[in-house]
Amino acid sequence: MTAEEQDKKFKDEYKRLFGIDIDIGDVSDNPVQKDLAVKEFYKGEYISCDGWGNVVWKDGHETTKEEKKKIDDRFVEMYLDWNNKQYQRDRAKAYPPLEKQLEYIGDHGLEAWQENLINPIKEKFPKSG
């Protein structure tokens, strides 16, 4: 499968699941893949599973429609939760290292720390939803 075919397959699957055109990227961009839902629901019942939710079951059965739906629904829930917390990841990258924050508090006090270091980052990356 070419990279273009793979990309189209991803986009078609995400459109089916989310009802809109969406590109959630690969695991390097987004750690939430279908295998996490499989692991959550079926730990110990399968041999292997990939990020698409393709499962090799220990008992050899084919994944049922009900199992696929359960996996898909949980994947969507997990992805939306992860995606809605982007502001947290952005803030974590923007905050100065803890040692610098403690030094700032020691030099300028808690109010100045909150006003000058913390609030500007919270304003730049507001909570979503």
Decide if pLDDT at 129 tops 80: no
How many Cβ atoms from other residues are within 10 Å of residue 41's Cβ?
13
Write the pLDDT tens digit of every residue in 20-29: 887 776 656 7
> What does the pLDDT read at residue 26?
60
pLDDT of residue 85 exceeding 80, the answer is yes
Query: What is the pLDDT, as a whole number, of residue 9?
Result: 82
pLDDT of residue 74: 96
In this prediction the pTM is 0.73
Average pLDDT in the chain: 89
Report the pLDDT value the prediction gives residue 66, as an integer from 0 to 100. 95
Q: Is 87 exposed, middle or buried (0-12, 13-18, 19+ CB in 10 A)?
A: middle
